[in-house]
């Protein structure tokens, strides 16, 4: 028998979450973001789960080509654009859209004779200060792109730093929209502003957000970029990491658990050992109190997470036994709740899933 740890991918939940994104931004077309191997879910599963999207967006040029090989015929967007002049041939050969965020990328396009037209997304830095042209540089960058033979549509885009906090005192979404409108004033082209946070807040920003395209990422996988629970947005978990109890120990007051003896029992208790550890992608830094489900009962992690195992308090779980089912995150236990307890974000947990974890597919609520 294989080790009892497995990750179940819920394609029906992926389809549901895509529909929720469309309901939030009904007038916009959707780029389903499938970077980082579809946030750890698998590129092929992302392709099937988000088949109704209007386009796929990702970072990796090889995976963009892979999407074409898998039969995706709709648009594909490279969110960081090209990294070398030789990548331009991939754009034309596979009909890929490319983000343009710096003058060096414009020069690459100027120095290359395009064998067929390509569409680009010109990125404005409205305060995120990662990639993009400042608002006062944006018009000149747009003019240089427009002058290149073979450049087709130019979409104007930006990226929100605090879309989950509309009125963040340091940089509000409204301020970023103001800067975008200032830099894009008078320029032709479709607009693409909203990431997951912007999509989820679309109703509150309907007057300010004029999106032709939106770029949801984490919300498609059942997570949120802020503190609001995914369930409050009617999002469903798309990945359930589950295992079993493989051993049990009876502890007395003063007994300790795990490396470093970080946890000490205050009285009699039952401890379960779960077949999952940091080599599987579970966060090693998860502290005592991180939630888990054992036979559907919510309980907590105790002791330090090991490479292949972790330990859980079974005292309040009636009839717990070797073989009891454990949900690390997913169906019945939001990944964001686990991530928050561990001081990280759901994105990291999804993307950290290790290759040795068996992956399967099932409808949400079906047995893994």
Supply the pLDDT for residue 236. Answer: 97
- Residue 365, both tokens: 């609520």
- List Cβ<8 Å contacts ≥24 apart for 343-346: 343/285, 343/287, 344/283, 344/285, 345/223, 346/218, 346/221, 346/223, 346/224
What SS3 state is found at 367? coil
- Per-residue pLDDT reduced to its tens digit, 207-260: 567 889 999 999 999 999 988 899 999 999 999 999 999 999 999 999 999 999
Domain 239-361 is classified in which CATH homologous superfamily?
A: Lyase, Ornithine Decarboxylase; Chain A, domain 1 (2.40.37.10)
pLDDT tens per residue, range 265-300:
999 999 999 999 999 999 999 999 999 999 999 999
Indicate the burial class of 50 (C-beta count within 10 angstroms; 0-12, 13-18, 19 or more).
buried
Active site residue 259: yes
Residue range 204-222, pLDDT digits in tens = 666 567 889 999 999 999 9
For 252, counting Cβ atoms within 10 Å of its Cβ (0-12 exposed, 13-18 middle, 19+ buried), the class is exposed
* Distance between CA atoms of residues 14 and 9, nearest Å: 9
Look at the alpha carbons of 357, 359, 365, 368 in this order and tell me if their dihedral is positive or negative.
negative
- Given this model, what pLDDT does residue 208 score? 62
Contacts of 151 by beta carbon, 8 Å cutoff, 6+ apart? 109, 114, 117, 118, 120, 145
Domain boundaries, the chain: 11-224, 239-361
111 is annotated as an active-site residue? no
Q: Which of 35, 39, 123, 282 is catalytic?
A: 35
Q: Could you tell me which of 3, 1, 4, 9 has the C-alpha nearest to residue 359?
A: 9
Q: Which fold has domain 11-224?
A: TIM Barrel (3.20.20)
pLDDT of res. 163: 83
Cα separations (Å) of 104 from 110, 128, 143, 187, 217? Answer: 10, 20, 15, 21, 27
Task: Give the model's pLDDT for residue 317.
Answer: 96
Smallest CA-to-CA distance from 310 within 335, 327, 297 is with: 327
Question: What is the reported pTM?
Answer: 0.95
List the catalytic residue out of 74, 107, 234, 259.
Answer: 259
Higher-scoring residue by pLDDT: 2, 139: 139
């Amino acid at each position: 028998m294989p080790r009892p740890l497995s990750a179940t991918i819920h394609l029906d939940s992926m389809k549901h979450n895509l529909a929720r994104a469309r309901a939030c931004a009904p007038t916009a077309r959707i780029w389903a973001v499938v970077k980082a191997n579809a946030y750890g879910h698998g590129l092929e599963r992302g392709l099937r789960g988000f088949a109704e999207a209007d386009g796929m967006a990702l970072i990796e040029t090889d995976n963009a080509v892979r999407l074409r090989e898998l039969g995706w015929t709709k648009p594909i967007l490279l969110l960081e654009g090209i990294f070398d002049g030789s990548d331009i041939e991939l754009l034309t050969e596979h009909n890929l859209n490319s983000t343009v965020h710096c003058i060096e990328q414009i020069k690459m396009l100027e120095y290359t004779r395009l064998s067929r037209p390509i569409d680009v997304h010109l990125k404005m830095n409205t305060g995120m200060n990662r990639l993009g042209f400042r608002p006062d540089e944006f018009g000149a960058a747009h003019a240089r792109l427009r002058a290149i033979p073979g450049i087709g549509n130019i979409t104007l885009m930006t990226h929100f730093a605090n879309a989950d906090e509309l009125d963040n005192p340091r940089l509000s979404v409204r301020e970023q929209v103001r800067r975008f409108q200032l830099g894009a004033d008078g320029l032709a082209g479709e607009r693409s502003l909203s990431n997951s946070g912007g999509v989820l807040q679309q109703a509150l920003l309907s007057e300010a957000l004029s999106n032709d395209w939106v770029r949801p990422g984490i919300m498609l996988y059942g997570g949120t970029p802020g503190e609001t629970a995914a369930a409050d947005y009617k999002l469903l978990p798309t990945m359930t990491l589950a295992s079993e109890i493989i051993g049990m120990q009876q502890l007395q007051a003063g007994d300790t658990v795990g490396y470093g003896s970080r946890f000490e029992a205050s009285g009699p208790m039952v401890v379960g050992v779960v077949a999952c550890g940091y080599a599987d992608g579970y966060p090693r830094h998860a502290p005592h109190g991180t939630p888990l489900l054992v036979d559907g009962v919510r309980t907590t992690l105790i002791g330090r997470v090991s490479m292949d195992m972790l330990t859980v308090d079974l005292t309040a779980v009636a009839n717990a036994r070797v073989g009891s089912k454990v949900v690390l995150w997913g169906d019945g236990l939001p990944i964001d709740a686990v991530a928050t307890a561990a001081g990280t974000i759901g994105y990291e947990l999804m993307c950290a899933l290790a290759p040795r974890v068996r992956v399967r597919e099932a409808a949400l609520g079906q047995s893994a």
